[in-house]
Amino acid sequence: MDESWIDSSLTEVFMEAASGYGYEDVTAEYAEFDELRLKWIRHGDWARFFVSDYLKEAPKDVMASIAETLMRKICCAGDAPYSEPVCDWLTGTGFVERNQPVYLRRKGGMVPAEEGVHKDLRASYDRLVSAGLLERDPSTFLAWDTDYDGPGAGRFSVLMRVASVSSKLDDSSLSDEALDFALYSLALNIDLGFAPCRKKTEKEYAELFSAYPEANRLAQELAQLGVSMRRCPPSANTPLHGPTMTPASGH
């Protein structure tokens, strides 16, 4: 378990939410997860919650809404979308400004875009914006990802505004057009933003992704460097390998 600490006010918030679902012995702790997530352990009327410290500055009403949504998800008590105040707070500039530097430090393996040897991610992003494929977002952090070893183009975080492209694409043999397509597959998630309705966002992503100019040809070129574009990356609601509030694990 990552470093964590009991917080009395956080415990009060989760106690109030959990008591409505039959839990009587409840504690909550902030934990230094690398991703934005919640975890829990529960048995009978006992529950213990581990809350990402990225949420430490959340107003009480926002945290109370998060706790209530989590309990509804855990107990399968009908539909449990995140409330408008939660979405507004998570997508505000203050959240990114506070947490993006911490996130990058914890994740590791991300080299700023300007440090590419053969390719320029910033120029790639500019081309996508100029073509009207993305909206410019000054808070988005572009990086080469030296730790990514998956089959896709890289990783992303919607809430932290990070798109990290696999460093194996920093290759002189790759065309700029193919690099743009690879970056687009990640940055599009950030462009679409965080939404409580995952299925709607996934559908919109799939439509835009499949409409990318010469997608098939560019996908074949990327495949020569071992990058598969056959499947969409994780949805915009799941942190770098998913930034949503849906817990990564629970028992």
162: left (phi over 0), alpha (psi -120 to 50) or beta: beta
CA distance 194 to 191: 9
pTM of the model: 0.85
For residue 157, the surrounding DSSP H or E stretch is strand 154-157
Residues 57 and 120 in one domain: no
Which residues constitute the domain of residue 12? 4-81
Query: Are 145 and 60 members of one domain?
Result: no
| 194 in the same domain as 117 | yes
User: The domain that contains 186 carries what CATH number?
Assistant: 3.30.2010
Give the span between the Cα atoms of 120 and 124, in whole angstroms: 6
Helices 198-210, 176-192: axis angle to 10 degrees equals 160
Question: Is 166 domain-assigned?
Answer: yes
Answer with the one of 36, 61, 81 that is the final residue of a domain: 81
Q: Residue 202: what pLDDT?
A: 85
Q: What's the pLDDT tens digit per position in 6-43?
A: 578 999 999 999 999 999 999 999 999 999 999 999 99
pLDDT at 4 over 70: no
99 and 67 inside one domain:
no
Q: The dihedral of CA 182, 139, 66, 25: what is its sign? A: positive
Q: What is the pLDDT of residue 231?
A: 54
Q: Which residue, 81, 111, 142, sits at the end of a domain?
A: 81
- The confidence score (pLDDT) of residue 247 equals 36
Stretch 83-106: mean pLDDT: 94
Determine the pLDDT at residue 197. 58
**pLDDT tens-digit readout, 161-183:** 999 999 999 999 999 999 999 99
> Same domain for 111 and 216?
yes
What's the total number of domains in the chain?
2
CA–CA separation, 1 and 22 (whole Å): 26
Is residue 235 in some structural domain?
no
What is the reported pLDDT for 220? 96
Closest CA to 81 of 93, 92, 89, 70: 70
Per-residue pLDDT tens for 111-151?
998 889 999 999 999 999 999 999 999 999 999 999 999 99
Per-residue pLDDT of 206-251, as tens digits, reads 999 999 999 999 999 999 999 998 655 544 344 322 333 333 334 3
Q: Residue 78: pLDDT band by 50, 70, 90 thresholds?
A: low
Give pLDDT, residue 48: 95
